[in-house]
Structure 1
Amino acid sequence: MNQTPAYAHVVALPQTWSTRVPAEFIDENGHMTVGQYAVLGGHGTASLLEAVGVDDHYRSARRMGFFVAEQHVTLSTEILQGSSVSMHPRVIGRTTTTLHLISLPGEPINPAGIQLAGRDAHSCGSRHAAIPSHVGADRPQSRRSRQ
């Protein structure tokens, strides 16, 4: 059973970040490197967090922020040099200290071929810290308590 979202559903989500793929993102086969897919997902996620107030001021005032604790990249299509790529991330769940996110690239490629899922942990120095209630609040608490 295919759980991949349709293109129309992805581009209907708010876009948080976009870029044109530069030559340095491309491997010897003419495709974007796998590591750069993770970078794109990171930019989309960072933009989403900034939109809900997790920005430089938040990090300096609270001495807290997020870091990628886990990331998975699923590819079944290609992005080529010069392609314009937009990112459409969503919080899909949360615990008291982690956000579970998915970043889906939009136009001009079919995002059904690429999914970037991850778990970002909220931290204060070297320890996990509770996420403020407004961050990812539109998503239910995760049933898993993996923190």
Structure 2
Amino acid sequence: MSLPAPGPGLPLFRETVRPEWIDYNGHMSEAFYVLVFGYATDALMDATGLDAAYRTATGCSLYTVEAHVRYLNDVAEGTELAVRTRVLGVDAKKARFTHEMYALPAADSGASGPPVATTELLALHVDQGAGRSTPFPDAVRARLAALTEAAPRWAGRSITEVRST
């Protein structure tokens, strides 16, 4: 199976699982899946004009206000990861996007199995000085809109309720 192509205009984000990310079960701890997804969000911000220079100049940033993470498979120390990002929608102040994390084979043949984890995120554009949401600049909103693609089948789901019998 091949690694999915990056979305329109967004490269795959790559990271290697570090020794300090390994938990007592011998695989990447859940917190570090979220860390890697956070780095992928930073890459999305850089690609859409919400980079460090923008944040310094405007005092505005993107804040995650909701996230749904699915842990689908264990990841070992030293594993090369690739994260595919999809922008699902944008309006005046909000953006919805997903990340899919894949483990690359040791030989980096470009092949990969199904994702090892996914996340769906809702983020607000926030004026940090005012402490409230504010509209995206037109150019940023247009760039996010241009990157919008169809949601993967797993997006939009919620956690299944567990019922005692």
Shared fold (TM-score, shorter chain, > 0.5):
yes
Normalising by structure 1, what TM-score? 0.81
Residue 66 (structure 2) pairs with residue 70 (structure 1): yes
Larger Rg: 2
Greater mean alpha carbon deviation, residues 130-139 or residues 62-71: 130-139
- Cα displacement (A) at 1:112: 3.1
Instruction: Figure out how many residues of one structure are paired with residues of the other and give that number.
Output: 133
Give the residue type in structure 2 aligned to 1:25. W
Residue 88 (structure 2) pairs with residue 85 (structure 1): no
Counterpart in the other structure of 1:137: 145
Q: Distance in 2 between matches of 1:77 and 1:102?
A: 18
Q: Distance in 2 between matches of 1:111 and 1:58?
A: 35
Give the residue type in structure 1 aligned to 2:120. A
- Cα displacement (A) at 1:66: 0.6
**Per-residue CA shift, 1:97-118, capped at 9, x if unaligned?**
1111101123415343421111
Instruction: Quote the sequence identity (%).
Output: 23
**Per-residue CA shift, 1:29-64, capped at 9, x if unaligned?**
111111111111110111011011111111122221
CA RMSD of aligned residues (A): 1.9
- Cα displacement (A) at 1:135: 4.0
Structure 2 unaligned regions, length at least 5? 105-111, 150-165
Counterpart in the other structure of 1:117: 120
Normalising by structure 2, what TM-score? 0.73
- Cα displacement (A) at 1:16: 4.0
The within-5 A match list for 1:1-147 is 8=2, 11-13=4-6, 14-108=10-104, 110-125=113-128, 126-132=131-137, 133-138=141-146, 139=148
Counterpart in the other structure of 1:3: none
